[in-house]
Structure 1
Amino acid sequence: MNWTQSINKGLKKVSVGIALAISITGVVQSAELGEPEKEELKFGFIKLTDMAPIAIAYENGYFEDEGLYVTIESQANWKVLLNGVIDGSLDGAHMLAGQPIAATMGYGTKANIITPFSMDLNGNAITVSNDTWKKMKPNIPKMADGRPVHPIKADSLKPVIEEYKEAGKPFKMGMVFPVSTHNYELRYWLAAGGIHPGYYAPHKGDTSGQIDAEALLSVTPPPQMPSTMEAGTIEGYCVGEPWNQQAVFKNIGVPVVTDYEIWKNNPEKVFGITEAFATKYPNTTIRLTRALIRAAKWLDDNNNGNRPAAVKILSQSNYVGADYEVIANSMTGTFEYEKGDKRAVPDFNVFFRYNATYPYYSDAIWYLTQMRRWGQISEDKSDQWYKDLAAKVYRPDIYEKAAKSLIADKIISASEFPDFAKETGYKPPQQHFIDDIFYDGSKPNAYLEKFAIGLKKGDKL
């Protein structure tokens, strides 16, 4: 801790003491939470724009408001990040939504990871190389003013993949991690267009995810996506921003569909900590959740009016490190598909509205259904199994304590949060998917039966 932080830390303790001393009746405001048990924290992130709540909580002083003195460090990849949280070298991190679920389940590394905070909705896209786009474009059924009508479905890619197959060449695409949103969104989009993305068979030692695949998916770290495609190693990829817009700026590829178009207002990243951390440091956990909620709200305030300031912060080399213009292309409410085809997409990145920060059980269950669909869960599980695992990992109880304290402190109004008295943790059945299939998180097995491609009840590789 440096000299300035030491002074701030002392002042923070004095202010908390004053708050306690002057409160004789009623709610003791945030001081009621108690002082943080651990004040010095280190958080990890990957260089993506959806790490923004962590950066803003730091830059706007929200962590310090909670008596937390935070160091933020970028990580080489998602595996390194997860291992850092597990071994304690990181106290928490910006995580793929599937990471805490998979770790708790024991897929890959076994560890009890929880999330009290969902970081954002949407924010990803699928990009293809210029050559693939040139071959896809004639297959797109609708055009308006010379531009494709969105959403573009994978049906238009299917003839391209068949051409590769006839030539004896594999069609390769990149995603960021086997349990990433990107993997499941890319698979969802491909399968909705009749293209098999392949199965996993971990019980047989096969974690390639390429069994029966018509498109071969493999892991590429997010910042390396554009250069890997430019080198011809992959023909396309699914990634978060700014690495789709980077392909447009470099004129090496075309984003063909956003995840908003695959699943409207889908949950994306989460903030992950170990269950042991939350148990040992309950006040610290609630306070860091408060800071992140405030940051998320600031990011969406004034109809995204704070986004240009956020982009300036994110463009710094210690955060995302991409050019301001590249990050702004999606963060400020627009998205560019083909070069010059820039469209208004105000909800491309959502950080707070639509209850984006609430960790819904049904969000966790959706990821679990996709793990089962593609074989990462090898055998059938009961609906109750899905619900129990979701409740172990996603922790709306912690979120609710943080939110209620912010309401009590008159920092955020109750109307901007879910109605906690009625909240079940399950969203109403969702219908805005690219294949028009409804998703009801309370009935995971019935949901799995609806897909033409994917494992169903009784199926085992």
Structure 2
Amino acid sequence: MNTSALAWVNGSDAPEKPSLYIGFMALTDCASVVVAATQGFAQQHGLTLNLKRQGSWASLRDKLASGELDAAHCLYGLVYAVHLGIGGVPASDMAVLMGLNQNAQAINLSPALQRKGVTSPEALARLVHQSGARLTFAQTFPTGTHAMWLYYWLASQGIHPLHDVNSVVVPPAQMAAHVQAGRIDGFCVGEPWAAAAVAQGQGFTLATSQSIWPDHPEKVLACARSFAEQYPNSARALIKSILAASRFIEQSQENRRSAAQLLSGSAYLDTPLETVEPRLLGDYQDGLGNHWQDSHTLRLFDQGRANLPYLSDGMWFMTQFRRWGLLRDDPDYLGVARQVQQLRLYHEAADTLGVPCPASVMRSSLLIDGIRWDGSDPHGYARSFRLHALGDTPNARTGL
């Protein structure tokens, strides 16, 4: 009899595997994972979380797929790509245990473009279409959120992300250095690296991801589906630990500031506090003299609304894979999402903590181009866009 069955027979919900290896990338939105591991939340639920910082999403993917990592702070689209067999490794059944955050990614342009007066979407579109300039934009993983935000935003401005510009993969922390070296003209990345580039004089923020899709899905807590099936108590305890930490961080501005202080340390982001804290608090300066308090700032909890693994969120990434030719055929959008999103485990964990769960596992959102996504017709949605690559060969420069 396996350990999870024994635990059930004994009437215990104690974690079958109490010590877990958890991968993360040096990004502000790993906050709840770090706080859970270091501030006693995991211990309250019988776990020890051994955090393992990764240098690239490809490295994190490989270790998650091989089982070297039990779970990880992960790009939503990376999970679905691996599950569908387009993620650069053999197809492997994956699981999303919970959402970790919404919002707080950014698209930056270089100082060279700024000097040319390319400081608006319209100016960028004119440059691309009228000058014949072949610009190069970086994102962090070919099927990841940053690639999808970059592609979606460019397309919303009439710029085809696969035909009109080059797209390359650069690890998050290296974006500013690549701009400085003249290798890229812009990038889409998670914080604090967009803010860091602005602080270093390496360009400006032209768009935030929340301006593309307010309260969009972003990072998730991911694992191999075999982990969730073999160690359900550990998976549930892990969700509870991180959900409790998410709730704690958002209880006060002081808690957010404390999280920023913790994250800035050498073990996590290894970045000055003044680069991390402002955008974590929603305080934005774009490098062009504009300053605002963002109404759709980084959301780690939002009364549980940022954490439920909505079926429609997972389905959206698959529609974009289909739109851009990464998938040659339509998947069973809803069926795959039901396999990946671990709604039962999440609901059990949330109920234990008294965290409310939204009534529907679908949600409706209006994106920057005026097109509404609600999960009701994924096949039609993938074909509804003026700019797409359906039927094209996937971009040869994916870097997988």
Q: Please give the TM-score of this superposition, normalised by the length of structure 1.
A: 0.80
1:112 is aligned to 93
- Corresponding residue of 1:362: 312
Structure 2 residue 132 is matched with structure 1 residue 157: no
Residue aligning to 2:66: 87
Unaligned segments of structure 1, at least 5 residues: 1-30, 141-153, 199-212, 408-415
Q: Provide the rounded CA distance (Å) in 2 between the counterparts of 1:279 and 1:252.
A: 46
Structure 1 residue 248, shift from structure 2 partner: 1.1
- What residue in structure 1 maps to residue 173 of structure 2? 223
Contact 2:160 2:387 in 1 (8 A): yes
- Map of 2:397 onto structure 1: none
Residue 329 of structure 1 aligns to which amino acid in structure 2? P
**Do residues 72 (structure 1) and 39 (structure 2) align?**
no
Structure 1 residue runs of 4+, over 6 Å off?
none
**1:417 equivalent in alignment to 2:356:** yes
| Distance (Å, rounded) in 2 between the aligned partners of 1:157 and 1:125 | 16
User: Does residue 391 of the first structure (1) align with residue 338 of the second (2)?
Assistant: yes
Q: Is the 8 A contact 1:334 1:346 kept in 2?
A: no
CA deviation map 1:37-71 (0-9, x unaligned)? 00111111111001111111012201111111121
1:341 counterpart residue number: 290
Query: How much is the aligned-residue C-alpha RMSD, in angstroms?
Result: 1.7
Take 1:392 and 1:245, find their aligned partners in 2: how far apart are those partners?
A: 36
CA contact (8 A) 1:132 1:160 kept: no
The answer to whether residue 374 in structure 2 is matched with residue 435 in structure 1 is: no
Aligned pair count reads 381
- What's the secondary structure of 1:349's corresponding residue? coil
1:238 aligns with 2:202: no
1:194 to 153, 158, 176: 158
2:110 aligned with 1:129: yes
Q: Deviations over 1:264-301 (max 9, x none)?
A: 10000001111111111111110010001011111221
Q: 1:202 matched to which residue of 2?
A: none
Shift of 1:78: 0.7
Looking at structure 2, the residues matched to 188 and 88 of structure 1 have their Cα atoms a distance apart, in angstroms, of 32
Structure 1 counterpart of 2:137, which letter?
M
Alignment partner of 1:60 is 2:39: yes
Distance 2:383 2:69 in 1: 40
Q: Give me the whole-angstrom Cα distance separating, in 2, the residues matched to 1:307 and 1:343.
A: 18
The amino acid that maps onto 1:300 is: E
Give the aligned partner of residue 250 of structure 2. 300
Matches of 1:191 and 1:116, distance apart in 2: 31
Give the fraction of aligned pairs with identical amino acids, expressed as a percent: 31
The residue identity in structure 2 corresponding to 1:336 is Q
Distance 1:440 1:136 in 2: 37
- Provide the C-alpha distance between the structure 1 equivalents of 2:294 and 2:38, rounded to a whole number of angstroms: 26
Correspondence for 1:326: 275
Runs of 5+ consecutive residues of structure 2 not aligned to the other structure: 1-9, 394-400
Q: Is the 8 A contact 1:129 1:254 kept in 2?
A: yes
**2:21 counterpart (39, 42, 61):** 42
- Aligned residue for 1:132, secondary structure, equals helix
Partner of 2:386: 452
Confirm or deny: 8 A CA contact 2:36 2:241 kept in the other structure: yes
Rounded to whole Å, the distance in 2 between the matches of 1:130 and 1:262 is 23
Residues 18-53 of structure 1 show CA distances to partners (whole Å, capped at 9, x for unaligned) of xxxxxxxxxxxxx97611100111111111001111
How far the C-alpha of 1:305 sits from its partner, in A, is 3.6
Corresponding residue SS for 1:103: helix
Q: Residue 334 and residue 172 in structure 1: after superposition, are their counterparts in 2 closer, same or farther (change >3 A)? A: same
- Cα distance, 1:103 vs structure 2: 0.9
Question: 1:47 is aligned with what amino acid?
Answer: A
Partner of residue 426, structure 1 = 362
What is the aligned partner in structure 2 of residue 313 from structure 1?
262
Q: Name the CA distance, whole Å, in 1 between partners of 2:15 and 2:307.
A: 22
